[in-house]
Structure 1
Amino acid sequence: MKKKCKSYKDASPKDNIPAGPLNEICIHPKNSNMNQYNKGTPNCNAVRMLLLNFRQEVRVHQAATLIFGPSNFNDPEDKASSPQEADFRLVIISEDLTWFRLVRPGFVTGGAYSVTLIFPFEGNYILFADFRSKRHPSITDKLKLYVKGALPPKSEGMMEKLVFSSGDLQMKIITEQAFRTETQNKIAVTIRKNGVPLRATDLTSCLGAMAHIILVRRNDKSFQHLHSEADENYPVIGRILFSRPGIYRMWIQFQTGNQLYTADFTLNVAESNAQ
């Protein structure tokens, strides 16, 4: 008889699964260099990342320490890998997709991880825990967190945004054609710092990659994480197959000159058969 997966909704207290806001756990194994969140029933053998202190109140503009711990309810021996630079990366976004962070929680005693964050405004935040266990090379869990305090400013509608400029940094997405579903899309990015073009050799490793490209679809908050490529013309290149049309928010994080940069963009993806 096939073993039935337990979810947070049908778990009982004896299962030691915390009840509360952590009721949406979604896992998808990494395929090549892309880690895509896929809503559905988790694999029975998949380890899950839990927010251990989820009952604490988190308020805006106050430092909040979040503690995470991996657990496999069907295989207690399946623990997270020993701490390494790329073992656990955490993406945090506001539900309206206007705020973003990519961090690596630190390893603490007892097999847990912790990170301290300051949230800018009240509302729901989505946490994508990208990690691996001893028996699973890569897993992504989706968790939710509510932050209390002042409401965010009213956000404007999301229009396509292919250029980013802040301080000494200018970035531009170069496209040969419109972004479409069911076809391989190339996201080529130019970077200028103080007006000088950067090459791939000007970037240094950041959280296990030369650059991270995070995409979240506005309608359903589906998640994709790319590790960039590069060539002689573009220091950052992403290749992606969009399964659904819509508005996608995209963030690129990289490091150069011992300084970490995060740039935000908005992509409009059309149906492949649209005229």
Structure 2
Amino acid sequence: MEQDHGHHGHNQMDHGANHANHQQTTPAEALRVGWELNPKDIQPRQETEIKLSLKDSHGIPATAFSVVHEKQMHLLAISKDLSTFLHLHPEYIGDGEFTVKTKFPSAGSYKLFADFMPEGGTQQLATFEHNAEGAENTQTVTPDEVLKKTVNGLDFKLSFDRLAANQHLTMAFTITDAETQVPVKELEPYLGSAGHVVIVSSDLEKFLHVHPTDEKTTGPTVTYMTTFPEPGIYKIWGQFKHKEEMHTVPFVVEVPSE
């Protein structure tokens, strides 16, 4: 079992507070997070249980957690080559422990990001790395030439008012029906929000979890405020719900220094 403090001092965590991304202050005492994966030798597509144990520095379990976007914990699992993205919601089973079952679709290295908020505290992020056995089939992460994708019959267009590091900027997803090109105005809430967005740097060291400026919008455009902490290549996953179906759309962008 490995432990990782629930905070990081290198811009790894950023959240959509006040509908934008603001660097979180370090809490007086960040919780220690113990990770346990069963089985330990994970095979691709094999059901795996992930257990997290949250305790203070004295080893006392934390027992109270705030609900953030309808869940006490959001767990993101992302492969090293950024080809796999899993958004999971571990269940709190008491005594400071969370558990969830999932399957890792391919061999290779994964990084897990546990996003949670102790009651009365600040948002925290803990990370853990592991491997799924087998030959790793890595993909090259290259920026998209056109920021438009079709997923499950819907067109998603990504746009920015400007794209530069260390700048507060506006990011927007515009959604239309792929066949009719009619704007989609019937988005349904996903975890209490019009759409969730997760952004990571190509080295998995920078992590952003952002939410819309208008949580109640139903489309066709969902807007976010965010800040990329440094120049480089980032992968963006937007998650939206329409007609009871979840749509996860990925984009890769290169963020210049200015």
Match of 1:116 among 77, 97, 101: 101
Give 2:221's match in structure 1, choosing from 235, 253, 274. Answer: 235
Q: Is the 8 A contact 1:252 1:264 kept in 2?
A: yes
Counterparts of residues 85-234 of structure 1 (less than 5 Å): 85-152=70-137, 154-160=138-144, 161-177=146-162, 179-193=163-177, 194-195=179-180, 196-199=182-185, 202-230=186-214, 234=220
Q: CA deviation at 1:31?
A: 6.7
Q: Please state how far the C-alpha of 1:234 moved relative to its aligned partner.
A: 4.6
Which runs of no fewer than 5 residues in structure 1 stay unpaired?
Answer: 1-17
Q: Out of 40, 57, 69, which is 1:56 matched to?
A: 40
Unaligned runs of 5+ in 2: none
Structure 1 residues 137-171: Cα deviation after superposition (integer angstroms, max 9, x where no partner):
3111111121113422x413412351111231210
Counterparts of 1:149 and 1:24 in 2: how far apart (Å)?
30
- Taking only the aligned residue pairs, the percentage that are identical comes to 22
- In 1, are the aligned partners of 2:184 and 2:219 still within 8 Å (CA)? no
Q: List per-residue Cα deviations over 1:218-264 (Å, max 9, x = no partner).
A: 13531001011346975311111222111110000121211111100
Distance across 2 between alignment mates of 1:215 and 1:111: 28
Q: 2:142 corresponds to which letter in structure 1?
A: M
1-structure distance, mates of 2:188, 2:158: 20
Deviation at 1:86, TM superposition (A): 2.4
Report the structure number with the largest CA radius of gyration. 1
Residue number among 248, 251, 256 corresponding to 1:265 in the alignment: 251
Distance in 2, matches of 1:135 and 1:159, equals 40
Say which structure, 1 or 2, has more relative contact order (CA 8 Å, 6+ apart). Answer: 2
Distance 1:77 1:49, change over 3 A: closer
Aligned-partner residue type, residue 200 of structure 2: V
Structure 1 pair 158–110 and aligned structure 2 pair: CA distance change class (3 A): same
The number of residues matched between the two structures is 246
Q: In 1, distance between residues paired with 2:59 and 2:48?
A: 31
Deviations, residues 57-101 of structure 1 (Å, cap 9, x unaligned): 211011111112221124726434277732101111001111101
Q: Are residues 260 and 51 of structure 1, via their aligned partners in 2, closer, same or farther at CA, if it must alter by over 3 Å? A: same
The verdict on how the C-alpha distance between 1:30 and 1:185 changes in structure 2, with shifts beyond 3 A counting, is closer
Secondary structure of the corresponding residue to residue 121 of structure 1: coil
C-alpha distance in 2, partners of 1:100/1:36?
23
Check conservation: 2:50, 2:101, Cα contact below 8 A. yes
State the TM-score, normalized to the length of structure 1: 0.77
Specify the SS of the correspondent of 1:133: coil
Residue 54 of structure 1, CA deviation: 6.5
Contact 2:193/2:211, CA 8 A, preserved across alignment: yes
